[in-house]
Amino acid sequence: MNATTITSLKDIKPTAGSVEYVTVLVAGQLLGLPISRVHDVYLVNDITAVPLAPPEIAGLLNLRGRVVTAISLRRRLGLNEAAGVERRMTIGIEHQGEAFGLLVDDVGEVLRFDPADLQPNPVHLDRRWASLSKGVYQVDRRLLIILDVDAVLEFLAEQKAA
């Protein structure tokens, strides 16, 4: 259960009046995570399975000696895992004092937007996806769905309460 850091985002400074998102791809869909919530981007070498864990939890990994819960963003969005994936990218985030890694298909770049340009979710967006989204931006004829990190991890609170 090892991970290799490939990028550190600590040196990126926001510009006044703008918001920045780390872009990722999941099943060909462009998604954005607020840069303020992202700590690392890394490659995953090994994931240790967790018996009886919810399906969204892919397992545990070790990032510089720290145990990180790996969450499959594909499963969280109701999608099947990609077959034959050799390289697994992970977005490292902190949530309520715990370290999590969101497994994604690929990591793009950091994009900056004017918050006033954020549009509501399209009415035809799948309910599951809409419940995890704060809205969308248009990027070169594509939609960038902005993920609500707290909503993505909300299923963990439901598990603890049960």
Q: What is the mean pLDDT of each run of 10 residues along the chain (162 residues)?
A: 42 68 95 95 89 93 90 93 76 93 95 95 93 94 95 73 48
Q: How much is the pLDDT for 5?
A: 37
pTM of this prediction? 0.84
Q: Measuring CA to CA, which residue among 71, 69, 8, 13 is closest to residue 41? A: 8
Q: How much is the pLDDT for 82?
A: 76
Q: What separation, in Å, do the N-terminal and C-terminal C-alpha atoms of the chain show?
A: 28
Q: Measuring CA to CA, which residue among 17, 20, 1 is closest to residue 9? A: 20
Q: How much is the pLDDT for 45?
A: 78
